[in-house]
């Protein structure tokens, strides 16, 4: 018959058998340890007396009580942690009550992922801002058309060394274009491309040097510039003139 050592004395041990018996077994000193499984020999063993049985029963009862307490403590700790974790999140919003933006939990990435996410977020904001600006411009143009008048206060810059040919649609009313001929002549054309609006205003053309200083200015007046009309103008490009600034002012109605 085999059993597990649960207590060791000077020259004996207490063995717990598979059928629940506590048997005192003689063993040599220092050979076995608690938890070792040994064979109980009938010649070298005898059952514990009544007091020993009472002692073992008390030990078993105490061990069971300790186990119950440990289970309760561990369960309490788990419950507290679980409830505190759930407390970090707001309750599910219903149709009548939405979660305020400041209470929503946002998990941010770290390191390079954070930088990439921030860059993407910034790009999204820029795209949204651009769309809003375009929508505002279209809205303003629509309102102006409905009111019957459009105000022009526009400014454009062109590099004559890079932009040999250019076309600029200005508020769907004026089409401004130029073409450089033989690197010394600038042929300019202004056309009213609207269906019903007449433009009254001016085109101020400023030749700029490489350092941004003004070389010379020419002004084209367009009074009563009705739909379909075309105005052509020619400018000679002098040495040192590298850029063109175009300022458009006036109204169309």
Mean predicted lDDT score pLDDT of the chain = 81
Paired with 167 in beta bridges are: 177
Is 239 in contact with 143 (CB distance < 8 Å)? Answer: no
Q: State the Cα–Cα distance between residues 69 and 252, nearest whole angstrom.
A: 89
Q: What pLDDT score was predicted for residue 43?
A: 59
CA atoms within 13 A on the CB side of 189: 15
Q: Where are the domains of the chain?
A: 2-62, 148-252
Considering the chain, what percentage of its residues have pLDDT values greater than 70?
A: 72
For the domain spanning 2-62, the CATH number is: 2.30.24
Give the CATH number of domain 148-252; options: 2.40.50.100, 2.60.210.10, 3.50.50.60, 3.30.559.10: 2.60.210.10
Summarize the confidence of residues 87-111 as an average pLDDT. Answer: 52
pLDDT over 70 (residue 240) = yes
Confidence of residue 89 (pLDDT cuts 50, 70, 90): very low
Q: pTM of the full predicted structure?
A: 0.43
pLDDT at 215: 93
pLDDT tens for 28-58 read: 888 889 999 988 877 566 554 545 555 666 6
């Amino acid at each position: 018959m085999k059993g597990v050592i649960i207590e060791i004395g000077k020259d004996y041990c207490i063995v717990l058998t598979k059928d629940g018996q506590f048997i005192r077994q003689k063993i040599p000193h220092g050979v076995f340890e608690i938890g070792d499984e040994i064979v109980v020999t009938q010649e070298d063993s005898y059952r514990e007396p009544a007091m020993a049985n009472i002692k073992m029963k008390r030990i078993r009862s105490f061990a069971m009580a300790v186990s119950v307490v440990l289970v309760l403590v561990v369960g309490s700790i788990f419950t507290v942690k679980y409830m505190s974790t759930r407390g970090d999140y707001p309750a599910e919003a219903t149709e009548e009550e939405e979660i305020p933006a400041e209470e929503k939990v946002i998990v941010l990435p770290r390191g390079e992922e954070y930088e990439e996410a921030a860059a993407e977020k910034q790009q999204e904001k820029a795209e949204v801002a651009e769309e809003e600006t375009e929508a505002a411009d279209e809205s303003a143009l629509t309102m102006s058309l409905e009111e019957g008048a459009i105000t022009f206060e526009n400014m454009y810059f062109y590099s004559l060394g890079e932009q040999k040919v250019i076309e600029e649609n200005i508020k769907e009313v004026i089409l401004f274009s130029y073409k450089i001929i033989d690197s010394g002549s600038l042929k300019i054309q202004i056309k009213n491309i609207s269906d019903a609006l007449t433009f009254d205003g001016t085109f101020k053309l400023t030749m700029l040097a490489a350092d941004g200083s003004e070389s010379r200015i020419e002004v084209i007046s367009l009074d009563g510039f009705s739909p379909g009309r075309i105005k052509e103008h020619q400018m000679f490009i002098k040495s040192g003139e590298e850029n063109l600034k175009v300022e458009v002012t006036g109204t169309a109605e």
